Structure 1
C-alpha cells in the first residue's frame, strides 16, 4: 500500500514516526509480504521461485550522484545484481542499525569473494558471481544528504566504497523512483518531522529487474535475502566480457574486410537480421550443467535445428530442438514470416532433453518425416501426413533408442530404396541420477514455473571430456535397417559396423566409386573412423588405411566437391584440439598465420590423446585424388577457422 494521510490519523502517525525514527516495517506497496522461501525439499523450481523471488518488475532508468559527487545510476549498475536499502544521515534509530547490518553483510560478502577467487584458482566452480554484487544506499533526505554528508556517513560506519555506493539527488526523482519503481512507500510528513521510509532491502537482478524485498532488520529476513541473492547469482553464467565481445575479432574483421576488397567475385546481395519481425520466438533453453552449474560435459554442445517443407507449399519450414521445455516447429508463411505450429502439428513433446533433429522421408510418400534425438529418455519418430500433421510412431518403429544420442544420419546403405539410419551415440557422459532444472530464466521458463511446470535432466559427469580414458564409458552407435511400414531393425552387429567412437556426427560418401555408400564417422575424443560398404551386406573398417591422420576433436563434417573435379571431398571442423594455452593468443594476434598443423604439434599430453602420431590438430580437409585415395590439404587451401563446431 501507499500512505494516504487523513485528518484524525495525523497525531497517531506522528507519534509512531517519532518512536521509530521515521522507519517502519509495514509490507511495501503492491508487494507480497509473505516470502516463505524454500518449501524444504528443494525439488521444484516451480514451487520455490514464486515464494523466494516473487517479483520480476523492470526498474526505470535513474541518474543520481554518489558520495564523491560523480554521476551514478542504472548505467553503472547495468548487468550487475545489487541490493538497495533506504536511509538518511539524520535518522537516529533504525537507520544506524540498517547501516551496521549492511556493513556486516559487506564483510561477509568480502569473505565469499575471497573464497570464490581461491576456488577459481584451484579450478573450482565459477558460476557464483559474488564479486559482481553491488550495494546501494539511497538517501530519502537528499536536501540534507549532500555527497559530502554521505561520504562522512559512510566513513563513520566503515563502509567500503569499492562495491557500495551512497546516492543522493533531486528529492522528486528519488521519491518517484522509490514509489513508482521499487513500489515502496516514502513520505515527508513535515519539515521538522522524520521522513517516512522502509527498513526493507530490495534485491535487483542483472537485468535491472526488482526481484524481491526483504526485512533486513530481522534474522529470518536476512536468511531469506541470502538465499534469494544466491538464486539471482545462479541465474547468470560467469561469462567474461572479452568472451562476449572479444577485441581480437575486431582485428580479424578489419583484415577480412581489407582482403575482400581484393576479390573479383561479384555479388549483389546483402543479409539483414529479420528475426524480430519474423515471428520466430524460439528461445534456446539449457539444463543447469550447460549454464547455471556449468560442467565440462557434452550438454554444452547445444542443440540442432532441421529445415524442410513439412506441408508441401514449396516453402522451407524450421524445427528447433531444445534441452528444456518443448521443441518448436515454425511454418514458413512467406515474405520472411513464420508461424508457430508446434501444437497443431503434434510435435510439441515436453520433458526430454533434446539434442538434434532430422527430416527424412522414411516411407517414400513424398513428405518429410521427423526424427528427434534425446538424452536417455528415448528418441522420437514422427510420421508426416504431408499436411504438417505428425503422428508419434516411436514405440512401434524400433527407433526409440535410449542413450546419449546425437546426430541421426539417414542413407540407403543396402540400395533397397528405403532410407536406413545410422544413429550417432556420443558416450556415457551422465550419471543415473536426475536433477531439477533450476537455472532456466528465459521468458518461457518463468511462465512455466508460474504454472507449476518443472523439468529434470540427468546429472552430468564432471570428467566427461576424459570419458574415453575410462573403461565402460563408450556407447556403441547403431545402424538400423528400414523394413518399410515405419519399422526399423537394428543390424549393427549383423553388418559389422561396430563403432564406439565418441561421435556427434557422421556422413555417407562413396569413396571407392563402387556404387555402395560408405560411412565416415567423427570422433570428438579420438581418431575418426571410416567404414567401407561391402555390397550392402557388411562394413569393413579402413580408417587408418585411407586416413592415416585425422582431427582430434572433430565436431562437424561436410562432403562436397570442393574443386569441381567430379570427386567428393571431405571437410572436417575440429572444435578444440588446437586452441589450448598460448595458441589462442597467437591466433588472435596473427589471424592469417599459416601452417595450421605445424603451429600446435601436440596441445595435449599423450595420456589424454591416446592416439600416438595419428592425430591432426585443427580442421582437416581431405581432397579425393582417386577411388579410395585422399590427401590432406587444409593448410594449402586455408581451411582453418579456429574453434569451430558445425559446418553447413
Structure 2
C-alpha cells in the first residue's frame, strides 16, 4: 500500500501517517482496503498465484554482542534489519541449530496463527536467508514451541515444531478453525500451514522431510513444551510433551460389551475441587462440580 501524497481528507480527519504500521486483509486472494481508508491509501498489488497475510506487530530483534566497553560493561547492538531477522509475526519460540552442518548456527522461529514459521540460514557474514518456503514441506498453523534432536541416529539434527491438534477425533473437530473463512489461506499460503505437529527430518540435502504422522506424534493436544532427551537411559531419544488440554476419562462406552461405568482419578491437594463435564451417548452434555475424597453417582436426565 502507498500513501497518497498531499491528500487532505474532506471531513478534516487527521489521516494516518505514511510510516504507520497496518494490517492487510486478503479477499479472493487479493489485498483489500476498507472503504473508509481508500481516500488515504493507494493499493499496490503485484498479481501472482500465492497470497501472504501480513502481520503488523512489533518486529523480531537480533542483538549482536559487541563485547565489553572500556568500563567493562557489555554492549549489544540491534542488527535485526541488516541481518534479515525482522519478522512481524506472532513469535512463540526461537531455536538455534545447525540445520545444514556447515558449522554455522541457523535459526528456527515458531510463529502462531497466520504467519508461517521461519527457517533462517546463516550466510556467515552476519546476514540470514529465510529458507522456509523451499526447505520445508509445510509448517504448523499455530506453532507453540520447538526442540531439536537426532531422532533417527543418522548424525543429523532434526526438529519438532508443535501445534494444538487434538489427540482424538472429537477434540480435533471442536478445536478446528472456520474452514470457510480460512479456505483461501489453506489453498494459497506459502509454505502451507496445517494444524498439527511437524517433525522435520534432516535429509542432509536442501529439503527436509516431514514425518510427524509416521512417528506417531502429529497430534498431542495443546502442546506447550516438547523436550527431547533420553529419559530411561537406553541410548534412544525420548520425547516429553506438556500441554494445556482438558483431561478426558473414558467410561461406560460401547453396546452390550461396554467397560465399567465407574471411574476414579486423583486430585491435587492444591485443587480440592474439580469441574466435571460429561458427554452422554445421545450427544447431550452435563456439568457437575465435585470435591476430592468423595464418591459421586451421576445419572443422565431423562
Shorter-normalised TM-score: what interval? 0.5 to 0.7
Alignment partners' CA distance in 2, 1:44 and 1:429: 32
Q: Which residue number corresponds to residue 578 of structure 1?
A: none
CA 1:413–1:378: 2 relative to 1, 3 Å: same
Please say if residues 380 and 399 of structure 1, whose CA atoms lie closer than 8 Å, have aligned partners that are also in contact. no
In the TM superposition, 1:551-562 aligns within 5 A as none
The counterpart of 2:159, out of the listed 414, 421, 427, is 421
How far did 1:33 drift? 11
Please say if residues 475 and 500 of structure 1, whose CA atoms lie closer than 8 Å, have aligned partners that are also in contact. no
How far did 1:360 drift? 1.2
Q: Which residue number corresponds to residue 35 of structure 1?
A: 12
SS at match of 2:66: strand
Please say if residues 411 and 419 of structure 1, whose CA atoms lie closer than 8 Å, have aligned partners that are also in contact. yes
How far did 1:401 drift? 1.3
Alignment partners' CA distance in 2, 1:429 and 1:43: 33
Please say if residues 140 and 196 of structure 2, whose CA atoms lie closer than 8 Å, have aligned partners that are also in contact. no
TM-align CA RMSD = 3.8
The counterpart of 2:146, out of the listed 404, 408, 411, is 408
Structure 1, residues 539-564: CA drift from partner, whole Å, max 9, x if none?
Answer: xxxxxxxxx989xxxxxxxxxxxxxx
TM-score, structure 2 as length reference = 0.56
Please say if residues 362 and 486 of structure 1, whose CA atoms lie closer than 8 Å, have aligned partners that are also in contact. no
Structure 1, residues 4-37: CA drift from partner, whole Å, max 9, x if none?
Answer: xxxxxxxxxxxxxxxxxxxxxxxxxxxx996336
SS at match of 1:599: coil
How far did 1:413 drift? 0.8
How far did 1:399 drift? 5.4
Please say if residues 377 and 402 of structure 1, whose CA atoms lie closer than 8 Å, have aligned partners that are also in contact. no
Alignment partners' CA distance in 2, 1:400 and 1:415: 23
CA 1:380–1:425: 2 relative to 1, 3 Å: same
Structure 1, residues 214-273: CA drift from partner, whole Å, max 9, x if none?
Answer: xxxxxxxxxxxxxxxxxxxxxxxxxxxxxxxxxxxxxxxxxxxxxxxxxxxxxxxxxxxx
Alignment partners' CA distance in 2, 1:509 and 1:521: 11
Residues 1:597 and 2:268 are matched in the alignment: yes
Specify the structure having the higher radius of gyration (Cα): 1
Please say if residues 198 and 212 of structure 2, whose CA atoms lie closer than 8 Å, have aligned partners that are also in contact. yes
How far did 1:41 drift? 3.3
Which consecutive segments of 4 or more residues in structure 1 shift more than 4 A? 37-40, 42-48, 427-434
CA 1:400–1:497: 2 relative to 1, 3 Å: closer
TM-score, structure 1 as length reference = 0.28
CA 1:492–1:47: 2 relative to 1, 3 Å: same
Alignment partners' CA distance in 1, 2:245 and 2:148: 24
Structure 1, residues 581-604: CA drift from partner, whole Å, max 9, x if none?
Answer: xxxxxxxxxxxxxxx921313343
- Structure showing the higher strand proportion among its residues: 2
In structure 2, stretches of 5+ residues that fail to align are 1-8, 17-32, 42-54, 68-72, 166-174, 183-193, 249-263, 280-284, 286-302
Q: Which residue number corresponds to residue 77 of structure 2?
A: 339
Please say if residues 376 and 402 of structure 1, whose CA atoms lie closer than 8 Å, have aligned partners that are also in contact. no
Structure 1, residues 466-493: CA drift from partner, whole Å, max 9, x if none?
Answer: xxxxxxxx94312221101332101122
Structure 1, residues 437-478: CA drift from partner, whole Å, max 9, x if none?
Answer: xxxxxxxxxxxxxxxxxxxxxxxxxxxxxxxxxxxxx94312
Please say if residues 141 and 196 of structure 2, whose CA atoms lie closer than 8 Å, have aligned partners that are also in contact. no
Residues 1:382 and 2:120 are matched in the alignment: yes
For CA contacts below 8 A with separation 6 or more, give which structure has more relative contact order: 2
CA 1:33–1:599: 2 relative to 1, 3 Å: same
Alignment partners' CA distance in 2, 1:516 and 1:549: 31
Alignment partners' CA distance in 1, 2:274 and 2:38: 41
